[in-house]
Structure 1
Amino acid sequence: MSTIVKNRITSIDFLRGTIMIIMALDHVRDYLYSGSFLFDPLDLTKTSGILFFTRWITHFCAPIFMLLAGTSAYLIGQKKSKKELSIFLIKRGLWLVFLEMIVVNFAWNFNIAFPMFLFVTIWALGISMVILSAFIHLPKRLILGICIVIVAGHNLLDNVHVEGNSIAAFGWALIHDQRFFTWHKEILLVGYPIVPLMAVMPLGYCLGAWYTAGYDADKRQRNLLILGSLAIVLFVTLRYTNLYGDPVKWSVQKDAFFTFLSFIKVSKYPPSLLYLLVTLGGAFLFLSFTEKLRGYVVNIISVYGRVPMFYYLIHIYVIHLIAVIASALIPGQDWKIWFLTKPIWFTTNLKGYGFSLPIAYLIWTAIVVALYPLCKRYDAYKQANKQKWWLSYL
């Protein structure tokens, strides 16, 4: 059976839908799990196995979303000239930056005064699209070579920092140094520096050549299996040596299980080489294993993958609103604290609020299920109105 169904590639939609669903788990944990306000779930001195993996599994979301955005750009480019694609990527990239600064930031904070701006996933996606708009004019082999060098070599910059609250420090943070800044009482968090994520989307663009209509599906499946396996083997080899690829080394812990957790605990901000090897390697394997997978579950999950931005924007507002309602119902809590004036992780007066991890999982499941009808309806609307240009921006 062909992997092309009604001009959509099922395995790509399935993977994108899977990571969108997993992503919501992380945000439910942030806003509704009681332990989120006490310690980092990846802190091996305080966490449990299930809590660690609740956070760790969401590491796959952002880089895979970047990769698949590049692949989608390549496929869109099959119907456009390079100039038309470049203009589209610039406009959509700038639109995403606007969404991050206004619509998404308000969703995180519920504060119309905008006391903080978070430069996280959507901003990095938007800037990467703008950068991709230039990359597409280069030969694919050159794009591939440049991006591999960036991904493989950027950890050489790990010890380069610009101290202080200056424009130069902020500029360097945007490039390669996650940091908080405070200017005129405004809080700025650079969560996702653009290096190396700016190289992941062009890698996805190169991957798009394997998904053109004339490419043999069996060959694609085999290539993805080889590529994913090589990435995982390289991850294990580099990680074991502790020589390069991540600023935080693994170490022997209190038992074998926690030593394993230390081994797979890789740096996300900015994404280290080892982080990208394990997440993108997992993506390639997933695409290979699901190349010909079909069925009811695949169809449902793929709906979320066909309307990712629509789902992303709505789910943040829903989760934050549930947090407000929960605080209003829990004795001793003040719902007004959810009109945040500082990042949620520093909101110490939330101690005592929240639910157990099993309840958080139930809420996550309920939210994902509840959003399905909306996503399905919007997906149907998009499919029936492809001529409407604005639909490609949401």
Structure 2
Amino acid sequence: MSTNGISLRIKSIDTIRGLIMVIMALDHTRDYFHITAFSADPLDPRTTTAALFFTRWVTHFCAPSFMLLSGISAYLSGQNKTTAETSAFLLKRGLWLICVELTFMTFAFSFDVTFKTIFLAVLWALGTSMLVLGLFVRFFSPKVILISGLILIFGHNLFDLLKPAPGSGLDIFLGIFLTGAGRFVPRGDGGNIAFLYVILPWAGIMMSGYGLGVIYNRAFPEQKRRRLLLQSGVAAIVLFLVLRFINYYGDQAPWTVQSEGLRTFFSFMNASKYPPSLIFTLMTLGPILILLAVTEHLNTGLTRFFTVYGKVPFFYFMLHFYLIHILTMIAVLSSGYTWQQATAPELFFKFRPTDFGYSLGMVYVIWITIVLALYFPCKWFGNYRERNKKWWLSYL
């Protein structure tokens, strides 16, 4: 298989990663700019609207897709390294991402110089998953890593059956590693650590991606790879529908019949992200596997647009979060709120009063503006990384 074929395959991964990064910005824009972001659940089937439900639901694809693609990318980058080098890089990058989460991202979330609450969210999940993957890479083959990842994905909901005493050691352990849906742990200095993403279910997705990376080997037949991706994607969607319809295993929140058919559909589709249930994972990764198959040789203006963001995900992620929060601060202070109101002690996110916000239509306008504003910075940085092969750029 030609070198050009390899580049197209990697480009398809960047394209899909860019797509999900763009979609991700929609959810973060909604968090900071929508009028009901802090007062209503957009996924509550009893009260939401179709537009609001879709706005939140479509962003569910982002985190699991990014974990899967990060696993594939880790495998591909390891083809030019020894096993020890790949393991060491994953461990160092995982620790780096956790440090970034504790500092730069916590501040991006809150704009609170006292760091009263430390938020452990996406980069925490990504970093801890890399630590787990780095350890597995050192001792196990990609096949064993794939099987281990699938065991975590399919089996972690069994721990939902355990009901440890609240506040016990087992309760805290399970909440951080397996079953937590957002846990605030006191630090001892009056502040809190917010564990928003559990570790092992997300690590299972990344490990599965690493195992899946073998089908991108140069010697692997292209048609067989695309067929496997399509079959796996369709199988995941079918299994999602079957398990969700049975309504017994695979999600912490069973769906219920609502007052209207559309609202029952909302309940059916509202799979649990915190932590990512088996049903949530099947629902989101099935379509992504199909996209990986059908976009492998696509080279259009739209795919090139998304690839710009997909080539520099860390750079884009950090930049878009700070841009969103800075724009929120400007909008809030320009709307008549005083500095004291905008930075009140009870606000987790400074410059984001609970009663501030715009309509959903305006949120979409702001989202599109933010994405377009970051296009040329991302393109510049992507080109800079290609021209300069300095070691520290691999961490950005």
The TM-score, its normalising length taken from structure 2, stands at: 0.93
Which stretch shifts more, 226-235 or 181-190?
Answer: 181-190
The residue aligned with 1:132 is: 133
Cα distance in structure 2, aligned partners of 1:335 and 1:70: 44
Deviates more, 1:184-193 or 1:229-238: 184-193
Cα shift at 1:160 = 3.0
Distance 1:284 1:246 in 2: 21
Residue of structure 1 in register with 2:61 after alignment:
60
The answer on whether the counterparts of 2:149 and 2:204 sit within 8 Å (CA) in structure 1 is yes
Check 1:6–1:97 CA distance in 2 against 1; reply closer, same or farther (3 A cut). same
> How many Å separate the matches in 1 of 2:351 and 2:94?
35
Q: Deviation at 1:384? A: 0.4
Distance 1:221-1:259 versus aligned 2 partners, 3 A rule: same
TM-aligned CA distance change 1:5 to 1:212, over 3 Å? closer
Per-residue deviation, 1:180:
1.9
Is residue 188 of structure 2 the alignment partner of residue 186 of structure 1?
no
Distance 1:349 1:319 in 2: 11
Shift of 1:37: 2.0
Residue aligning to 2:362? 359
Partner of 1:198: 203
CA drift at 1:218? 2.0
Paired AA for residue 257 in structure 2: V
What is aligned with 1:254?
259
**More deviation in 368-377 or 136-145?**
136-145
| Structure 1, unaligned runs of 5 or more | none
Inter-partner Cα distance in structure 1 for 2:256 and 2:169: 37
Matches within 5 A, 1:147-162: 147-162=149-164
CA–CA distance in structure 2, aligned partners of residues 255 and 298 of structure 1: 38
2:216 partner letter: Y
Distance verdict in 2 for CA 1:22–1:344, change over 3 Å: farther
Secondary structure of the structure 2 residue equivalent to 1:37: coil
Task: State whether residues 116 and 341 of structure 1, in contact with CA within 8 Å, keep that contact through their aligned partners in structure 2.
Answer: no
Q: Distance in 1 between matches of 2:190 and 2:23?
A: 34
After superposition, the Cα gap between the structure-2 partners of 1:348 and 1:96, relative to the gap in structure 1 and judged at 3 Å, is closer
Q: Deviations over 1:346-383 (max 9, x none)?
A: x9982431111000000000000000000000000000
Q: 2:326 aligns with which of 321, 325, 331?
A: 321
The answer to whether structure 1 residue 334 and structure 2 residue 335 are counterparts is no
CA distance in 1, matches of 2:123, 2:49: 30
CA separation of 1:341/1:3 partners in 2, compared to 1, >3 Å: closer, same or farther? farther
- Report the counterpart of residue 173 of structure 1 in structure 2: 175
Could you tell me which amino acid in structure 2 is paired with residue 185 of structure 1?
Answer: G
In structure 2, the partner of 1:382 is: 385
Is residue 2:90 matched to residue 1:86? no
Helix, strand or coil at the partner of 1:252:
coil
Please name the residue that 2:78 is paired with. Answer: 77
Compared with structure 1, are the counterparts of its residues 379 and 337 closer, same or farther at alpha carbon in structure 2 (3 Å cutoff)?
farther
Alignment partners' CA distance in 2, 1:155 and 1:127: 19
> Between the two proteins, what is the percent identity of the paired residues?
42
**Within 2, Cα distance between the matches of 1:238 and 1:280?**
15
Q: Which amino acid aligns with 1:28?
A: T
Q: What letter is aligned with 1:188?
A: I
Cα distance in 2 for residues equivalent to 1:96 and 1:81: 22
Letter in 2 for 1:293: L
Q: 1:100 to 1:295 in 2, by over 3 A?
A: same
Q: Say which of 110, 130, 144 aligns to 1:142.
A: 144
Letter in 1 for 2:286: G
Deviations 1:123-172 (A, max 9, x none): 11101101101212312332222222211111111143555556664433
Q: 1:118 to 1:162 in 2, by over 3 A?
A: farther
Of 23-32 and 195-204, deviating more is 195-204
SS of equivalent to 1:135: helix
What is the alpha-carbon distance in structure 2 between the residues aligned to residue 317 and residue 280 of structure 1?
28
Code of the residue aligned with 2:173 in structure 1: it is G
User: Which residue matches 1:47?
Assistant: 48
Give 1:258 shift.
1.4
The answer on whether the counterparts of 1:110 and 1:340 sit within 8 Å (CA) in structure 2 is no
Q: Distance in 2 between matches of 1:343 and 1:279?
A: 32
Counterpart CA distance in 1 for 2:269 and 2:351 is: 29
In the TM superposition, what is the alpha-carbon distance from 1:211 to its structure 2 partner? 1.3
Cα distance in structure 2, aligned partners of 1:124 and 1:207: 20
- Over 3 Å counting, the alpha-carbon distance change for 1:77 and 1:237 in structure 2 is same
Which residue type is aligned with residue 150 of structure 1?
A: L
Q: Any idea what the Cα deviations from partners look like across 1:294-344, whole Å, max 9, x if unmatched?
A: 11111111110000000000111000111100111113x235555475564
Contact (CA 8 Å) 1:165, 1:182: kept in 2 or not? no
Cα contact 2:328–2:352 (8 A) shared by 1? no
Q: Distance in 1 between matches of 2:68 and 2:163?
A: 28
Cα separation, 1, equivalents of 2:168 and 2:142? 38
What do you get for the CA RMSD once the two structures are aligned? 2.1
1:384 maps to a residue whose letter is R
In the alignment, is the contact (CA less than 8 A) between 1:26 and 1:55 conserved in 2?
Answer: yes
Amino acid of the residue matched to residue 148 of structure 2?
Answer: I
Q: Matches of 2:265 and 2:166 in 1, distance apart? A: 37
